[in-house]
Chains A and B, each alone.
Chain A
């Protein structure tokens, strides 16, 4: 009996009226975990019931604790008929299973109904007591920490990176079971929500087991996805990077799960003085002996058993599949499109893989280790300094599959094999680029009817093996690549592959930074811009958008048609990206994400990335327009006009993004595209004067010959669409990576948002061209809307702009965007806080004033906090959470304590009593006496400070950090799945009204869960799915949303206590108010 789960139902508020006659509700609550259910008493005739129940205790296996959610159902008691459900709350108790995360869940949760949305709130307390588990063959993996963040979480250091972990579970979709015909939509939705919650719990547990077996204690970059395959079932799959993480707090190391040997080594490994040491790092690496590198030997001591099957030389795989690289447009084609039914060379491979997978499964679970060995993939997108040695380029693979029913949910081999195949392809691509690892790795799917496109992409790279578990990467003879001491600012740009045996035609030059190694002319990657990279100017979001019509078809014909189209789409997307990159005078893409979405009669492709000018790479040449026939004078003029426009745009962009590399300042910015001859001469002379390298320009004279040929009207259209992209208005920057190069002085104001737009194509006979235009306009207009909405945040940067496209129905295009607007200070960071207007200053003052009462106690706490004393950890974040109102609200029984505290604080006391009062009145108006009522003074001259707000502000961001703050604690992963359905679409304001309130509700539920864990922010937030189905004729709509992120407590950089987000938001909105 390894765990005891305890839950207490405290109170409800704002309940809906369930009894029309009395305009009141007789509410009670069912608390269910596994198969055990408890009930509270009925609290008659109240919309604000106070149940104050006993502690309901569930004695359960920790395996169940990981899989199952706690299910709380609020019902209206009915004497004569069946009790009506008001709504439900699912609480994921996983965060409580980890000693370092949250220790209690306590707070107000929105009561959610899949038909009516949020219907009031309920106050719940949940605790878990875990007993020591001595069972060696356990199935649970309690204690493994999960992070959505795709970098080493702040406050931790990676003692060891173990490698890739993946798992998938399949099940029948309740929506498509026969029983669905006779049950209510509500029951069906709830069954689905519950099933998915169970499945993700199971998935997480299984991944945790793998991590434990690898000797790790955490999963970083955890990415979980759902594939709603309709009739054929429901797949939940996840990938991540197993790591051994250590807290970075001084002295006290928490390594419960670390192998004893790794702890001291990792200390040495990750020397705190990160800056400036990198070159030295590289130098002493290859020598496996000697005092500077004792840790080289270390991984051998890791507890992992010897691998089951001998490690296969990967060259074999790379030869068995065609190696296509999506690096340059010249070679971009064909890297997708191995249709399931016809992939010739892959077939053998496929069989092989499934066999081994089966063998492993049957033999022993330790065979799982093999996976990590076989796939040196990392879901991380940014790395500790020195980790990333070289970057090869983007590798991607796509495959089209026909879905058929999953016959046995316990044997998910088919889906496993599919992914196995794709991963092998990725791996071989990486090999061909001379790389032993793939970083920034991600997988996704697009499903339409029975056709499914599986995609995987990442960035081929060479990593520093010192951080890896041995065997995780096969380094072999390539070791000499670590010899060169490349400076961190450009080292990653240096080519990892052999110059004489290049995998694709590319123009190499000596690095413009160190002049010692070769670099390519452009670099595409899926990772974030490394912090140490040398960048000229600022970056911007670059998108390639593409629509391709296809004939409606069924089954294999359809799959073949799609897989035939894919290579062309990829090629065109790459051409677009390349052109747009050149147009902005940049030479590298980061965070590249290509999504291809399939619909019944079209394919949509959207590639997003952040373009930058890497100082180490050569300056991009311009774009030259060439006509096919030179005879026509008219045509000639036309071409000249276009050429001029392009040149002007390039010049304008250079100025806009402040791209003034040293070379260009020398020659004067006047002519963006000089004559090829002139230019090459210029480069030579420059290089001669500045460096000893003589054969600098081997081929880059050709670089200027980036020619766009206009041979038909299509090409003209393409060029027009190239020029259509508007640059963001003054004061705005955009990127889809974590941060923007060149901007450092962020303020604490962040505004996360989600926007969804659906377009109905009315005209059935659209051409590819006009469709492209429509799609491009849709994306551009969305961006325009964001600029307008967020104009009060200027100067600001829209970071992590994540576009997702879908074709929910024939004739519909859906684009969903989640991003965060981050305000920065143009020059001075401090001034802003001083020169605030009256109200804001007051509010900001509030926060330090109130804290000082507490500071004596909280200041003393950090040391004890990390040592894991549970009592301390409960109290400290809460007590310091500034807003005493919320404190009172969380747990009204603490009110006494609170009053004691409050009277020592001038402002605080006013607020507290005011809060008491409004609580009291809501109770008294119902004629129910509460102990709080007595505290109500007759004529309270309350200041209008309004601090009585009882809701903790919770910030959300898709980034892994909040500017100006420090994350002091990760409370656990948030992974929530909601379904909302309506049969009164018109009454809810149409489909926009329906989705608007649903998204707001999802935000509210995420915030409530985070606040209940004691947190004040969500980082690495993402909305992974937003599936909308509508039928306006029937007045119906249904939507599914899946969100995830990491719940955290963060404090202002300078403080020990959790910050008030109030201040910051106040700032944003005050600015808003000024408009």
Chain B
């Protein structure tokens, strides 16, 4: 005696959020039943294991049928097969596109290619995320990447409209796309302490200030590619470290402003030239794709690590960078104020975010 067939279909599609999460997390039906039982589901409505199994199977089938629609969320709103109230649709989409920070941290900046996909089982083993869930997340990244690649207009907005995601999630996806496109190096040991959210913040800064879209919002890929003209102009900043007078002048201005305001003043004064050289050198090298990829490594090596070894506080960093940026405006012979602001604005906020006490 065996149940040959068992289905339950509601006019309004019944979806249990808990089971949905288990499905998204890649649990098999049997494992999901175990989890639900452990979660005390048996106490509800005099359920038994068979009831749970039947319910879980039904829900899994429903989700599988929905998956095709979830992959192009705009369809979910005007498809006729499932009657799902709008706020439930929002939930389904948001959850489907949600990802594990530990997982995304592993693939951030990597090419979203078949090769990477082959490594997913290793990543899964390392992060404790099931392979099924890894695949869904990876495919989501790839799908979003592919769609926005060909679109004009602001990246975040495009993602939000095509995938009907929340603002927060759309921004995260923008970061992932941006990192994948520019292939930023994030996997080096020195960068391990940084979380996905740190990188996502930096990506947002870069997208808003350094891409073509920051000045012109009609070109293709405007938010994905960095502004080439701007990168060229950055070379002009070299004068700040090559011109000895300018360097000294800059240092004295900064030191005057900082004096007495921080315990780390001595270190600041001592390191000024090194740090300034580091930051300006990063700027001037950004025309090379290779150096763009190493942007975050360079920030850590050239600035964050020296400061950390001198035990600067976050407040110190803030103070220092503010005066460092502003003092350049007072330098008479320094003519590249606009480029300097555009550069330092991003650098400042990235360093704040990346500097963990």
Name A's B-contacting residues (CB within 8 A). Answer: 13-14, 108, 110, 118, 121, 726, 729, 732, 751-763, 774, 781, 784-791, 812, 814, 839, 843, 889, 917-918, 921-922, 938-940, 944-951, 953-956, 989, 991-993, 995-997, 999-1001, 1003-1004, 1007-1008, 1028, 1062, 1065-1066, 1068-1070, 1072-1073, 1075
Contacts and interface: CB of A to CB of B under 8 A. Distances in A.
A787 B45 contact: yes
A87 to B, nearest CB: 13
B1 A759 contact: yes
Contacts of B80: 108, 110, 118, 121, 951, 1004, 1007-1008
Contacts of B83: 951, 953-954, 1003-1004, 1007, 1065
A1001 B80 CA distance: 8
B79 interface: yes
A1003 B9 contact: yes
Given A729-B45, A946-B164, A1000-B9, 20 more contacts: A14-B79, A757-B3, A759-B1, A762-B2, A787-B47, A788-B47, A790-B14, A918-B77, A939-B154, A940-B157, A946-B87, A948-B77, A949-B89, A951-B83, A997-B65, A1001-B81, A1003-B11, A1072-B14, A1072-B15, A1075-B18
B332 interface: no
A918 B78 CA distance: 10
B61 A996 contact: yes
A1073 B91 contact: yes
Contact of A762 (B1, B161, B217): B1
Given A763-B1, A954-B83, A788 B45 contact: yes
Contacts of B89: 946, 949
B8 A889 contact: no
A754 B7 CA distance: 8
Contacts of A954: 11, 83
A753 B10 contact: yes
11 contacts: A108-B80, A753-B11, A786-B8, A843-B87, A953-B83, A996-B9, A999-B9, A1001-B81, A1069-B15, A1072-B15, A1072-B17
Contacts of A1065: 12, 83, 85
Contacts of B157: 938-940
Contacts of B81: 110, 118, 1000-1001, 1004
Nearest to B81: A1004
Name the 8 nearest CB pairs between A and B, nearest first: A758-B5, A950-B78, A758-B4, A752-B11, A755-B8, A999-B9, A753-B10, A996-B7
Contacts of B3: 757-760
Interface stretch (B48-56, B226-234, B313-321): B48-56
A785 B54 contact: yes
Contacts of B298: none
B57 interface: yes
Given A949-B86, A1072-B14, A789 B8 contact: yes
B127 to A, nearest CB: 28
A367 B330 CA distance: 110
B5 A1062 contact: no
A948 B74 CA distance: 10
A121 B81 CA distance: 10
B161 A921 contact: yes
A296 to B, nearest CB: 46
Given A951-B83, A991-B4, A992-B5, A752 B58 contact: no
Interface of B: 1-18, 44-48, 50-52, 54-55, 57-58, 61-62, 64-65, 74-75, 77-83, 85-91, 153-154, 157, 161-162, 164, 166-167, 217
Nearest to A14: B75
B162 A1066 contact: no
A961 to B, nearest CB: 16
Nearest to A109: B80
Contacts of B166: 944
A714 B46 CA distance: 29
A812 B17 CA distance: 34
A946 B54 CA distance: 32
A537 B89 CA distance: 41
Contacts of A756: 5-7
A789 B85 CA distance: 18
A1066 B54 CA distance: 25
A1072 B91 CA distance: 12
B55 A788 contact: yes
Contact of B1 (A774, A940, A989): A774
A812 B61 CA distance: 23
B216 to A, nearest CB: 12
B137 to A, nearest CB: 22
Contacts of A814: 5
Contacts of A1003: 9, 11, 83
B63 to A, nearest CB: 12
Interface core residue of B45, B57, B154, B162 (most chain A CB under 10 Å): B45
Interface core residue of A13, A788, A839, A944 (most chain B CB under 10 Å): A788
A995 B45 CA distance: 27
Contacts of A726: 46
A989 B9 contact: no
Given A758-B5, A955-B11, A989 B64 contact: yes
A951 B8 contact: no
B65 A751 contact: no
A779 to B, nearest CB: 13
B91 A784 contact: no
Given A755-B8, A785-B8, A996-B9, A946 B90 contact: yes
Contact of B77 (A755, A784, A951, A1070): A951
B16 A1075 contact: yes
B61 A992 contact: yes
B1 A950 contact: no
A665 B54 CA distance: 43
Contacts of B13: 1000
A547 B2 CA distance: 17
A1007 B9 CA distance: 14
A658 to B, nearest CB: 20
Nearest to A1008: B80
B64 A759 contact: no
Nearest to B75: A14
B10 A751 contact: yes
A105 to B, nearest CB: 15
A774 B1 CA distance: 9
Contacts of B62: 996
Interface core residue of A762, A814, A993 (most chain B CB under 10 Å): A993
